[in-house]
């Protein structure tokens, strides 16, 4: 094993540091240790390795003469564009397969075939049905719901035309996509086509591949992900701001601790209800516990944090730390971001590690099939009972000393609209006004994962501090949101402590935190809708690419993050990535994707910057440029029309 980093160089999260120290004393290995032991392959990291056929694998370098090509003759630009595009396709597939599962579950509920779930938000059902082109007037809600479910499922298999939800984008944006020929037709079609185009001997022009990848990514953001988020809101409730607590300290010494980790909301939704049932609590008591403590982790946790205020343990790189407490009686997982190493780590303690989805089985894990459409209650009951049984086998328990952090989460685009517009006039006008008058300089979406190769949570936190100081409102999802929540940025009091005077004034007036938690990584689609609404509200240009906004994924690790980044770029948003991939420099593809070439095509482009301060500067400079172009660089109050002025008009 290579020399391991000191704990203080691994994480800034106090509770994680305490547990990693314990883990080393216990002699167990974590993902941080494995990252130290596994040197990343520099050729692979540059997407300069091609193994799309079996004449290779071929390796190129940006430092080698440009004429040096692979066996088939493909150059480094083709290699990089194809590697990037395949990551986009994989990320799109992941979000969209999640979205399809939700659509199938929704349809069983709509048809009255699934007593385990119900439609929670009928208002949103009607609003979303209208957006999907489903007739709602004078119809029974059940009929609307069935047609909506079918229409959503059809978005995946559709072969012609364009995805319906793209029409929510500003007109100019939609027309740009049409002109470029990148309006996605159907989600599955775009993923299949991307895999075809990037196989040996097909698309070998880097610009064409990158624009093809944009079409695929748009099918994620405005297709699979958006369907997932909107239907999840209808089924499990549209998020509204609610108080909760976060960090490993949510684990309880004297209760059965059951963590749900992964992405799809139905598992945690069912288990929460079961864990509250008196008969189940009695079973826990019979096993010697005081009760059942059901908590979320990663994006499964985010899904129910924003909807029910369920306590949250932590982000992707805290899974090891949570198990090391010895207090986790069971970790239930479904799909995405489940590290295989957790199954082995769980064996070193008494933790039951249980997979639940046929698409995700892991060597060494127990498997209880949870099919939301058919057996949610039965499977859920078994899962809670396994946790209770596991409690009997506890050895030592060590819960971190650090107190849990209170937070407010649940900022859907509907909530932002309502909150900033007030009770009588839900609208984005006050947000736009405050951007125009300069109190708010702009808006940043800071999202994405943790990556064990960078100091856990540090880049997220330092970056957001810089943005807030510069009056930039921050909207978050995924593991990045969890990092900032733990650090105390999701309380209204954070405004005074961290923000510039303009943003602090707005937050204090509204009573909101300066960092808004919008949900799981699949919920970035909420940000697309919010950006479109800002354009439609007026005063900030007529396309998303005119807005003073920027995107960021400072510690990303997943292919899903590449798909998210590319759908923001393709929607007109400048997007900066932090850690590791894509290490792209010195090639024509890199010059195109990270600069004026891609910006000229789609209005957005990429940047890569691991240093949080330089990363923030790139975003702030971009926002300033957009303000300059809009003519709102100088602070000025917007002239509001009074009745007299209106009459004159």
Question: Toward ligand MSK, which CB reaches closer, 500 or 612?
Answer: 612
- CA-to-CA distance for 618 and 576, rounded, in angstroms? 8
Question: Toward ligand MSK, which CB reaches closer, 387 or 561?
Answer: 561
Question: Toward ligand MSK, which CB reaches closer, 298 or 516?
Answer: 298
The neighbour count for residue 381, using CB atoms within 10 Å, is 18
CB of 299 to ligand MSK, least distance (A): 3
- CA-to-CA distance for 621 and 548, rounded, in angstroms? 10
Contact positions with ligand MSK (CB under 6 A) in 429-448: 448
Question: Toward ligand MSK, which CB reaches closer, 388 or 463?
Answer: 463
Question: Toward ligand MSK, which CB reaches closer, 96 or 381?
Answer: 96
Contact 308, 235 (CB under 8 A): no
CB of 228 to ligand MSK, least distance (A): 12
The neighbour count for residue 122, using CB atoms within 10 Å, is 12
CB of 305 to ligand MSK, least distance (A): 12
Out of 521, 535, 562, 616, the residue judged to bind ligand MSK by CB under 6 A? 521
Nearest Cα to Cα of residue 571 among 612, 535, 538, 540: 535
Q: Respond yes or no on whether the N-terminal peptide bond of residue 141 is cis (omega within 30° of 0).
A: no
Question: Toward ligand MSK, which CB reaches closer, 69 or 90?
Answer: 90
Out of 59, 312, 526, 560, the residue judged to bind ligand MSK by CB under 6 A? 560
Contact positions with ligand MSK (CB under 6 A) in 86-145: none
558 binds ligand MSK (CB under 6 A): yes
Contact 322, 259 (CB under 8 A): yes
76, 79, 81, 84: CA torsion to nearest 10: -130
CB of 151 to ligand MSK, least distance (A): 26
> What single string gives the DSSP state of each residue in 193-240?
HHHHHTSTTS---HHHHHHHHHHHHHHIIIIIHHHHHHHHHHHH----
Question: Toward ligand MSK, which CB reaches closer, 299 or 619?
Answer: 299
- What letters, b where the CB count within 10 A reaches 16 and e where it falls short, cover 147-162? bbbebbbebbebeeeb
Count of residues of this chain found to bind ligand MSK when the rule CB under 6 A is applied: 13
Crossing angle of helices 225-236 and 524-537, rounded to 10°:
100
Question: Toward ligand MSK, which CB reaches closer, 50 or 219?
Answer: 219
Question: Toward ligand MSK, which CB reaches closer, 326 or 554?
Answer: 554
Nearest Cα to Cα of residue 566 among 581, 555, 551, 580: 551
419 binds ligand MSK (CB under 6 A): no
449 binds ligand MSK (CB under 6 A): yes
352 binds ligand MSK (CB under 6 A): no
> What single string gives the DSSP state of each residue in 62-93?
TTS-TT---TT---HHHHHHHHHHHHHHHHHH
**Binding string, 460-499, against ligand MSK, x = CB under 6 A?**
------------------xx--------------------
CB of 480 to ligand MSK, least distance (A): 7
> What single string gives the DSSP state of each residue in 337-391?
S--THHHHHHHHSS-EEEE-BTTB--TT-EE----TTTTHHHHHHHHHHHHHHHH
31 binds ligand MSK (CB under 6 A): no
- CA-to-CA distance for 459 and 578, rounded, in angstroms? 8
CB of 457 to ligand MSK, least distance (A): 12
316 binds ligand MSK (CB under 6 A): yes
563 binds ligand MSK (CB under 6 A): no
617, 623, 626, 628: CA torsion to nearest 10: -70
Contact positions with ligand MSK (CB under 6 A) in 232-291: 263
CB of 611 to ligand MSK, least distance (A): 21
Place of tokens 């400079």: 621
Out of 74, 328, 518, 520, the residue judged to bind ligand MSK by CB under 6 A? 520
- CA-to-CA distance for 369 and 383, rounded, in angstroms? 10
The two three-digit tokens of residue 532, written as one number: 């479109």
Dihedral over Cα of 171, 177, 179, 184: its sign = negative
Question: Toward ligand MSK, which CB reaches closer, 466 or 559?
Answer: 559
Question: Toward ligand MSK, which CB reaches closer, 223 or 502?
Answer: 223
* Interacting residue ranges for ligand MSK, rule: CB under 6 A: 263, 298-299, 316, 337, 448-449, 478-479, 520-521, 558, 560
């Amino acid at each position: 094993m290579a020399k391991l980093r000191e704990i203080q160089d691994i994480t800034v999260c106090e509770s994680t540091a305490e547990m990693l120290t314990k883990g080393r004393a216990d002699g167990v290995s974590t993902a941080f240790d494995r990252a130290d032991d596994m040197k990343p392959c520099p050729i692979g990291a540059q997407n300069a390795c091609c193994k799309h056929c079996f004449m290779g694998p071929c390796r190129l370098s940006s430092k080698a003469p440009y004429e040096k090509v692979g066996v088939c003759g493909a150059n480094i630009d083709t290699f990089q564009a194809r590697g990037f595009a395949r990551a986009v396709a994989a990320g799109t597939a992941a979000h969209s397969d999640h979205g399809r599962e939700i659509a199938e579950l929704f349809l069983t509920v709509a048809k009255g075939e699934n007593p385990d779930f119900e439609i929670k938000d009928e208002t949103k059902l009607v609003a979303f049905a209208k957006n999907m082109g489903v007739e709602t007037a004078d119809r029974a809600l059940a009929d609307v719901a069935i047609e909506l479910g079918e229409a959503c499922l059809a978005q995946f298999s559709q072969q012609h035309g364009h995805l319906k939800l793209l029409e929510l984008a500003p007109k100019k944006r939609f027309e740009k996509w049409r002109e470029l020929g990148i309006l996605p037709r159907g989600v599955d079609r775009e993923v299949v086509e991307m895999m075809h185009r990037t196989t040996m001997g097909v698309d070998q022009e880097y610009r064409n591949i990158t624009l093809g990848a944009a079409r695929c990514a748009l099918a994620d953001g405005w297709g699979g992900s958006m369907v997932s988020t909107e239907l999840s809101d209808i089924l499990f409730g549209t998020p509204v701001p609610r108080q909760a607590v976060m960090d490993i300290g949510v684990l309880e010494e004297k209760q059965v601790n059951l963590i749900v980790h992964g992405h799809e909301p139905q598992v945690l939704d069912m288990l929460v209800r079961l864990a509250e049932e008196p008969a189940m609590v009695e079973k826990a008591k019979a096993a010697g516990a005081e009760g059942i403590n059901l908590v979320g982790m990663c994006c499964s946790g985010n899904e129910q944090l924003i909807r029910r205020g369920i306590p949250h343990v932590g982000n992707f790189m805290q899974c090891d730390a949570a198990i090391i407490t010895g207090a986790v009686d069971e970790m239930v997982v479904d799909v995405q971001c489940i590290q295989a190493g957790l199954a082995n780590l769980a064996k070193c303690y008494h933790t039951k590690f249980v997979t639940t989805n046929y698409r995700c089985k892991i060597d060494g894990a127990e498997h209880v099939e949870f099919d939301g459409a058919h057996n949610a209650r039965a499977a859920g009951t078994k899962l809670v009972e396994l946790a209770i049984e596991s409690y009997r086998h506890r050895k030592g328990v060590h819960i971190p000393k650090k107190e849990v952090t209170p937070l407010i989460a649940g900022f859907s685009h509907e909530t932002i609209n309502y909150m900033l517009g007030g009770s009588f006039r839900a609208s984005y006008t006050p947000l736009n006004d405050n951007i125009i008058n300069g109190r708010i300089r702009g808006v940043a979406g800071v999202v994405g994962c943790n990556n064990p190769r960078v100091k856990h949570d540090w880049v997220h936190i330092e970056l957001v501090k810089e943005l807030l100081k510069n009056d930039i409102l921050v909207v978050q999802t995924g593991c990045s949101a969890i990092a900032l929540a733990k650090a105390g940025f999701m309380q209204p009091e954070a405004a005074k402590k961290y923000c510039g005077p303009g943003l602090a004034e707005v937050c204090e007036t509204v009573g909101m935190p300066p960092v808004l938690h919008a949900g799981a990584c699949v919920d970035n689609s909420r940000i697309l809708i919010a950006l479109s609404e800002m354009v439609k509200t007026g005063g900030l240009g007529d396309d998303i690419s005119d807005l003073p906004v920027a995107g960021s994924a400072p510690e990303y690790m997943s292919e899903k993050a590449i798909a998210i980044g590319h759908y923001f770029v393709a929607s007109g948003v400048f997007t900066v990535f932090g850690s590791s991939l894509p290490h792209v420099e010195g090639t024509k593809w890199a010059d195109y994707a990270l600069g004026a070439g891609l910006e000229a095509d789609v209005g957005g482009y990429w940047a890569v910057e691991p240093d949080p301060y330089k990363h923030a500067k790139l975003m702030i400079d971009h926002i300033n440029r957009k303000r300059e172009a809009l003519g709102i660089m100088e602070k000025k109050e917007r002239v509001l029309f009074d009745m007299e002025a209106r009459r004159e008009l």
